[in-house]
Chain A
Amino acid sequence: MSEVAAAPVPMPAKRRMAQLVMLAFAVVITMGAYANVGLAMDGAIPSGMLTYGLSLGGLMLAAYLVLAKFAPWADPLILPLVTLVNGLGLVMIFRLSETDSTLPSATLASPNTQLLWTLIGIVLFSVTLIFLRDQRALQRLTYTAGALGLLLLVSPLIPFLGQEINGARIWIGIEGVAQLQPAEFAKLALVVFFAGYLVAKRDVLALAGRRLLFIDLPRARDLGPVLITWGVSLGILVLQKDLGSSLLLFGTFIAMLYIATQRISWVIIGILLFLGGAIMAGLLFDHVQMRWRAFNDPGNPEIYNAIGGSEQLMQGLFAMGSGGILGSGLGQGHPELIPLAFSDFIFPATGEELGLTGLMAILVIYALIVQRGLRTSLAARDPFTKLLSVGLSFLLAWQIFIIVGGVTNLIPLTGLVTPFMSQGGSALLSNWILIALLVRMSDAARRPPPQAIQNEGMTQVFQR
């Protein structure tokens, strides 16, 4: 027995040095990108490069110090990877704002606001890490989180508080002062709720039911939660005209349900419900129908020129096409021609300047972030942490799939932000909180378990 006490149980190392080096690397790449933009557009290193670079570097150093203090065992890669995509987003927004053009894509891009949001994002990241010392505390708030999520979802519908911008009623705030999209935060609360709920109920959802052909059918009354989530996401679709969030929410729930129960029948039921809802929405609502037609036949001049038609989509495709394999180079393309190039369409805008090579690198970076989350889930010791980390990673992955699939015309376009890259405060803040939660959980998963007292002959341990 004494042998065990001598040899500590091997666990992953902290790898702080690797983290710091990767973080510095990400900041240096971002600064290089700023310099590249300036050299290409004005022939000189932009005056803002040091300001932007140093403020991003300072912010990330602060985030790193908080992480090192409050989550020392956390995964070493999550923060550097996120830093790089956030930095590249800042560069693209900066680049769009530098264009001599009166197009809205150039005039509405505001790198300073986005940097400010990044700052607030880092503050929220730190606050989450400092105050949430054990992610299992969230399990006790399962139903509170569920109620909070629903409240946030419906809050834009409240008169005076809610506002309709660009045809989607998903904002709250004071006209002209500040607006937030509560749905971005609702997603996090709902994933916490799903995780807590499924941990409690997964045995009944996984075991009860009959077997029909080769799939296990659940009992009719266990369909309740699926139907409710389906109803809620249809509600978002109908009342707020927000296709993206609706798809995001339902998809995440189905994925978590499948992971919790390991039953393929839930996925089939989910897909059937989704198809039913989508067809119904397509028949009833013009804006859904328009998206479908734009997806099917984006090159048709009639659809191209229609309001809410496929012009934006086609401009994005043209941009990626003109970028080609190696891209036009930062600052040398014309991404400002794409409507909303700084928010929903930042991905094709980046594609034009960095080409397929650059887009692939960005996608691999996203994939690595998701992989770290899934890895955390595998290493986690309790079911709630497992489900929460897999849910949050899937939320991120699904969000990237929906928007990248949308702008590349793989699936119908539904407006969603590209995580960390798009201009927009709410999404950036909620994604930084998501990363803080993942970091907290990876810290818990990688932390070595407290050593049991082995020498029982000497000490008697009572546990209650």
Chain B
Amino acid sequence: MSELTLLLIRLAFLAVLWFFVIAAVGVIRTDLFGSRTAPAGPGKGAKPAKPAPKPKSRKGEPRQLIVTGGPLQGTTINLTETPITIGRANDATLVVSDDYASSRHARLFPQDGQWIVEDLGSTNGTYLDRSKVTRPTPVPLGVPIRVGKTVIELRK
């Protein structure tokens, strides 16, 4: 084996090794920037169907979260794209000082113009209207969500 061949093999091997790393990062990149089963970005195929439902749901989209019962009654939070956490922990968006609430009690997050409520394994449970939230459930406008003594609602 000549020196030159070995040098080329060596460089090629390192290049391929890094190419593997870059390919792996590429897979992660799609994971970070929304590789979804129904891709939402600019692309092919399923595209024309996607933009249509978007403006439709915009109309009925809630803009505010209002506390209608409990110690924090009257508080309003403007809804943006960021998820809202409810609980006793300091880092929750809505901090409730309530013995019946857990430190991370429930979470509200937007998805396709819908707000979804999810119980985060709280002790006393989260109730949407009168049914216990056992899995991520979409929240219609004006339906009360009960977290401990606190009642919240989504409004336009």
Contact = CB atoms under 8 A, between A and B. Distances in A.
Contacts of B18: 357, 361
Given A3-B56, A4-B114, A33-B13, A449 B135 contact: yes
Contacts of A454: 138
Given A368-B21, A454-B138, A463 B13 contact: no
A283 interface: no
B111 A9 contact: yes
Interface string B128-156: 00011011111010000000000000000
Interface residues of B, number: 43
B11 A11 contact: no
A285 interface: no
Interface stretch (B36-44, B63-71, B74-82): B36-44
B132 A9 contact: no
- Of the candidates B53, B56, B135, the one having the most CB atoms from chain A within 10 angstroms of its own CB is B135
Interface residues of A, number: 56
A29 B20 contact: yes
Given A36-B9, A329-B7, A368 B28 contact: yes
Interface in B103-134: 103, 111-112, 114, 116, 121, 131-132, 134
Contacts of A25: 20, 23
Contact of A39 (B9, B57, B112): B9
Nearest to B14: A357
A84 B16 CA distance: 12
B16 A4 contact: no
Given A43-B1, A327-B10, A12 B25 contact: no
Interface of A: 1, 3-4, 6-13, 15, 18, 22, 25-26, 29, 32-33, 36, 39-40, 43, 76-77, 80-81, 84, 203, 206-207, 262, 326-327, 329-330, 332, 354-355, 357-358, 361, 364-365, 368, 371-372, 375, 382-383, 449-450, 452, 454, 461, 463
Given A12-B31, A354-B13, A364-B21, 14 more contacts: A9-B111, A9-B112, A12-B35, A29-B13, A29-B16, A80-B24, A326-B14, A327-B14, A329-B9, A357-B17, A361-B21, A452-B136, A452-B138, A454-B138
**Which 4 residue pairs across A and B have the least CB separation, nearest first?**
A329-B10, A10-B36, A361-B17, A357-B14
